[in-house]
Structure 1
């Protein structure tokens, strides 16, 4: 099975102090250690809101799942190509593209010691999809019509319609395989408008996976401790223990790295902090491939965004390069479509539509806008990002912008989806669920499969349905359809792409393996990292 349309090129507090001290004893601190032994301490300003695959849909909870759990297929860190994981080989796909037959690896065990079988595969995929948790990504599995298990090592997945991206979707964290006798699950698919309590009834936070690490300790908003699973079926992880330390402020993370309290700092440092670390001879800078994007979302149900000319005026006013330079010190790339430019099929439709245009070409007088952003989800640069966007809009003379913010828990509940959305304009970020152009289009533009559920254009739905049902992921006709989708998005402006993020990791000089896990799939594989002795 081929992976669709891949990138054209790859670039290659007291509580905190206490947690660091605790793990320093288990992991060997930020000092020396032999490769394959000892441990590693990774710092981040991200948060983990859940460890349940059916509820997880943010970067860091997904990243924990990728290190503790596993999926049928995953991305090879050397090539970024799809490869078997819990599957013994890539699936056999029927001629009509609707039946995927997976042969499973024999002898794989969960962290509780039980054996993984095809029943666990069926249970896990149905559970994630049937829970339809509003914070999760179970919708990625909506195409599944049925799953059969003819024997313990065979799973046959039947799709309702052909989906060229289905194999790639199975590589995302929501498809993590969990033991069927440990997790609760509904007996049928929950309605999308169910009472919130009905979703939470089935959430299970004690993660049991098959991956190279198991969860040893989880202290919410403080730390997660991972220990190597001694019965892991695959290659043993290079570090015996990993401590993921959550920092409230990026300045705390920077100080911890400089003092040697942590080994790795990853997501999110300010420009000044990044430049300071780049000048430190004891710290290495590792630059990754840009596949994560930032963008504005417009809710056309709310004034004044219900007027398409207002959305077009905003598109004409935003200065992307200024945002990158002023807020991120030049680290990033302007984005003129939701699809990053390193993907074949990316077309700068917004540049073509709005280059040389002024907001006054679309609106008269001054439009009052309210722009919302989250205070605790995208790092310490988020206020500066919102302020810079507001400033560029106001300097055009066509807008009067009010900035509002709230914590992510409230933000994600109020901003979307659909009719429940209360914010006319708001900032979001996106990292890929699967490496295909479709993953930067359908989740935003399709009326039923979008997680936003704010945009409804039958022509757009038709185009997306066409590219998903293509027989060849690299077909020229599919690339042409991608172009039509991006052109239509530039006309309707349901979202406004801003820039592609350049990911950086900063590591102690004796840390190895980080540069081998900074590909476009955005999976930070702890099991490939270690500290060299010396």
Structure 2
């Protein structure tokens, strides 16, 4: 699992830039709750769509990307076995077939998954896409020089842990079988009912072995999607895509591919992006951003202008900002201290620090408030919007701290959405009312990340955040609460060092389920169970508010990514 700070920067952007955020489904133009421009006419074909992003579109190689990374740009070039349903809101959190005829056929207790490719699939040069190409695309993602993509296959595939990629091991992975040109069979180490979700990752994009140029493949990857790369400048700083004439809509029910050309410009200043989209002049009238949020001041200005407000897309993604405890560090080894802090938190002040109620929604559950995650409402430590300092004081007294206590809160010095000094200060102020003196320890962003994810250095009390690689409770709860995922010498995300056999067992049982709705219900129940231990204090789920140009139509924003889906957009 990749930590959300990375995903966030690539996909959404409230903390930055990145990944997306979550909450009840809300998408499309502001005040309408629907995609589109309000015009009933069919979306126009042709023209050039411009993408203005702050985050770089670097490493444009399917082995090194996440499907959702880059605000959906990779999905225009790289098709995968399955993909996300390209619809607004909650409907977009569903996994659907892409290159494959279905989302996968499980057997042997979900340890074997079989896929059949659709007929008539072709690359940009007109050659057919085969099962061997998909297998090779996956295998090359194991090469050390192409690292950076989703790590699940290394853990899930039999033999994956020791495999080093096709450049060193010519034999390939025996756990991926290709009995014929259209069939793939995956053999897993353990049951994984969510394999169809994993098959949306770009590692599942086909790569013709004869065209593979290793680390230079990103300069001109061979397209299986509706667009091909015609220019890649500055490692993705400027990416120009044009139509892949051999792509057929008959084999692709998800991507609409209305524009003839897509011009992706990255590395821009966020304020400049919003200024250009607001002015919406020239080529910027047909421009969008997939990673730059409106800030509080910008949002206030936009809200007061009806024309601008009509050009704001609202997105949600599976993402939670929270306080993390390390119970190995005193006084956080005492559950009553953790409970006291849970009661003392003033979420209204935290939300204000995060940009206000338009950009953040209060959270009392660890799982985001979406059905696909299995969200089950609960509030084990009800303190209202502004906290309950008296209840907190009572619990501190029971814990032996009748005169209060002093603790240190570690946070990043970067003024971003997730772990900023502003949020830390808001918590400092609210906990003071409960007799808890909070000393703030700000660390430069990289130092912060290295510290809080090091099992040997992890502080007792710090700001954290997590987002899911797909809309399910699995990639949300397992990395944080599965005791078998505690990493002693590397990046550890189980900050509470929870190793509860009953929790581990339930995770295994849910992973056996191939009924994703049934699995979601179980994930929600597990979240509620873990939440009672006060190992975290959920604070808020970010909301993404992004402008788009006046000539942009057919806006679709799903709860899978939380960002405008370029594959659906048309321009006037």
TM range (shorter): 0.7 to 0.9
Matched residue, 1:268: 293
Matched residue, 1:372: 411
Q: 1:119 aligns with which of 132, 136, 144?
A: 132
1:499 deviates by 1.4
**Cα 1:152–1:480, aligned 2, differ >3 Å: closer, same or farther?**
closer
**CA offsets per residue over residues 86-119 of structure 1, 9 Å max, x none?**
1133323226332221111334344566543212
Matched residue, 2:157: 144
Structure 1 contact 227–242 (Cα < 8 Å) conserved: yes
1:301 deviates by 5.5
**Cα 1:69–1:134, aligned 2, differ >3 Å: closer, same or farther?**
closer
Q: 2:240 aligns with which of 221, 225, 231?
A: 225
Structure 1 gaps, min length 5? 1-6, 13-33, 186-201
Structure 1 contact 129–142 (Cα < 8 Å) conserved: no
Q: 1:335 aligns with which of 360, 363, 378?
A: 363
Structure 1 contact 77–519 (Cα < 8 Å) conserved: no
Matched residue, 1:28: none
**Following superposition of structure 1 onto structure 2, how do residues 134-533 of structure 1 map, counting pairs within 5 Å?**
136-139=149-152, 142-145=155-158, 146-182=175-211, 205-206=218-219, 208=221, 209-215=223-229, 216-219=231-234, 222-234=237-249, 237-246=257-266, 249-260=269-280, 262=284, 263-266=287-290, 267-283=292-308, 284-300=311-327, 308-331=335-358, 332-343=360-371, 345-349=374-378, 351-353=379-381, 355=383, 357-358=391-392, 361-362=395-396, 364=401, 365-373=404-412, 375=414, 378=417, 382-407=420-445, 411-416=448-453, 418-419=454-455, 422=458, 424-449=460-485, 452-454=493-495, 455-459=497-501, 460-470=503-513, 472-475=515-518, 479-480=521-522, 482-493=524-535, 495-514=536-555, 516-522=556-562, 524-532=564-572
State the distance in 2 between where 1:222 and 1:383 align. 30
Which structure would you say has the larger RCO, counting Cα contacts within 8 Å and 6 or more residues apart? 2
Deviates more, 1:307-316 or 1:365-374: 307-316
1:304 deviates by 5.9
1:56 deviates by 3.8
State the distance in 2 between where 1:57 and 1:413 align. 22
State the distance in 1 between where 2:355 and 2:316 align. 16
Matched residue, 1:106: 119
Matched residue, 2:77: 68
Matched residue, 2:86: 77
Q: What secondary structure does 1:89 align onto? A: coil
Structure 2 gaps, min length 5? 1-21, 28-42, 159-174, 250-254, 487-491
State the distance in 2 between where 1:458 and 1:132 align. 37
